[in-house]
Structure 1
Amino acid sequence: MTLRLILVRHAKSSWDDPGQDDHDRPLNARGRDAAPRIAEWLAARGHVPAEVVASTARRTVETWELMAPVLGDCAVMRRDPALYHAPAQRMLDVLKHCAASPVLMLGHNPGIAEFAARLLQRPPGTQRFVTYPTCATLVAEFDAADWSEVIPGTGRVVEFVTPRDITP
């Protein structure tokens, strides 16, 4: 059996209020534009999630809220506080408790970049994968019957994209 993971870093967030708690930062205009464009790119390629798990940060929730109308309401969405600035191992632990496929996971850097790199047999051939900019999206596949069987170094890149790669 093949499982599919869609790994998305949240869209660009606002730094307009320097006193605002990091967890509560909203998306900025660029982020509000990028999230639905990434969703349209995913939908056009048939990468529609059955389950979504996201950090509880406002910017990750807003990213999904802008993606959901394009990708459909059929996905089960769960907010998991463990994903807020999670390191790679914690992200893997959360993934292992997912039930459906494809799973779309929304998180933060630097953990999401490290998680993506650890999961794959070979990284995509682009420098942007290393930095995993805002709204960067990896689609990867794993030969496993259940997410609990997924181990680092076994994923295959299906596609990788950033908002900058998509022509508006």
Structure 2
Amino acid sequence: MAGPQQATAELVESDQQRLGRVASYFMLAVERLVLQGRSFTVVDEGRILGAALWMPSGMEREPSLPRPRDFMGQLLGDEVLLESAERFQQALEGAPECGGFYLADLGLLPGFQGSGLASRLMRHCMAELDGPMWAESANPRDLDFYRRLGFAAVHQASLFDTTLSRLCLER
């Protein structure tokens, strides 16, 4: 029987392995978006402060990457994954398709959040990309941000302890 110290060491090792798999998966996914999607970065003196990664409509999943559902099943376990997937699917029932470019990721280094930099980055993206654009968020603060940029919430639904919103910008 494992003692408390050994059990803790096994847990830490397992968590480190899991974090490593997550980092590897997302590193490959981001690399693919940068190469095949559209990416925009904010750089200051050679330092990347933030980025917006866009996935065009019809972009196929990279065959060398596991399907997101399979990957999440490995991390969360099949039971938790099934419940989460069902709730997410229910939340999106009736949501209109927006087409165009999907905002897969938008982020800034913590010290630059709230500075207006994300708005300037998004306005640049909006000027560069043709056609509709859309995003999904479960963060209530994001709704005001996207609305100020001209996005409209076209669908909202309860998801766990928050609200999932699909936002579209038609042009």
Per the shorter chain, which TM-score range?
under 0.3
Normalised to the residue count of structure 1, the TM-score between the two structures is: 0.27
Q: Which has the larger radius of gyration?
A: 2
Normalised to the residue count of structure 2, the TM-score between the two structures is: 0.26
Query: Which structure's residues are more often strand, by fraction?
Result: 2
Question: Relative contact order, CA 8 A, sep 6+: which one is greater?
Answer: 1
